[in-house]
Amino acid sequence: MADPDKVNEFQQQAVLQRSIQQTISERFAAEDDGLRNALIAAREQGLPEIQISPIQGKMLQVLAAACHAQKILEIGALGGYSGIWLARSLPANGRLITLEINAKHAAAVQSAFAKAGVADRAEVRVGKALDVLPGLESEAPFDLIFIDADKGNYPAYFTWALRLSRVGSIIIADNCIRGGRAFAQPDNEEMAGLVEYNTRIASDPRLVSLVLPMDDEYTDGFAISVVKHG
Ligand code: SAH
Ligand code: DHB
Ligand code: MG
């Protein structure tokens, strides 16, 4: 039988954690009209609600500031929510390129970028990321690369991220914990991609990396890697 005092203690801790996360979100990661509009439009169009959280959006901005990001690459755009956080971190002459395989998602992104007033610096390119990435070599290096598309291809995206980056670039990948499954024996192709991604960033001598729980009650989060050597 579970000890009722222990259960009570865990419940209180969960309530406290949620309240801290909400306060941080309100104080540091308030959404503007452009971000709110992107979420409303995505919901109206029936897009899946799998965008990053406001705290993660602000984390992307902190990291973009840390590497003086002028050129940003995102893999996996959905409805443009994370793209707007990223675009807002750019200087006026900065550039965000975001890749999206789904034409309906890409159309939503374009409209969300226009409404958020970032269409001058942010553009979506439609296609399978692995088909589009080779064409980006002439536009590299990117200062920040955010990976958030199909999980099975994360190892391939890692290889491209390194090829398209410079010393000091920051490579971020979403969903690198997945309730601990991203560190365990994988039981499907998506999880295998995440497990391999974590293994590679943890041991690659060109990087300094950390996986940080920050989403879904601290059961998922970003892998953050800074490129130390070419
Ligand atoms: N970064 C977004 C969420 C992305 S969800 C946000 O936080 O707002 C993942 C997106 O990746 C989906 O829109 C999906 O259509 C897209 N995607 C999946 N496989 C892809 C591929 N091979 N190439 C490009 N985009 C892909
Ligand atoms: C899924 C994808 C994501 O990138 C995410 O952050 C959450 C869920 C998904 O495919 O279910
Ligand atoms: Mg994600």
- Please tell me the predicted confidence (pLDDT) of residue 1: 64
List Cβ neighbours of 207 (8 Å cut-off, separation of 6 or more): 171, 201, 225, 226, 227, 228
For the chain, give the percent of residues with pLDDT over 90: 95
User: Band of the pLDDT at 7, cuts 50, 70, 90?
Assistant: confident
Distances (CA, A) of 178 to 95, 140, 150, 211, 217: 31, 31, 14, 11, 11
17-48 pLDDT tens trace: 999 999 999 999 999 999 999 999 999 999 99
Mean of the per-residue pLDDT values of the chain:
97
Distances (CA, A) of 75 to 14, 103, 143, 204, 228: 33, 14, 14, 21, 22
- Closest residue by CA, ligand 2 atom 5: 50
CB of 222 shorter than 6 A to ligand 1: no
> Which residues is 124 bridged to in the sheet?
98
pTM: 0.97
CB of 215 shorter than 6 A to ligand 1: no
Coil/strand/helix, residue 143? coil
- Closest residue by CA, ligand 2 atom 7: 50
Ligand 2 atom with minimal separation from the 52 CA = 6
CB of 144 shorter than 6 A to ligand 1: no
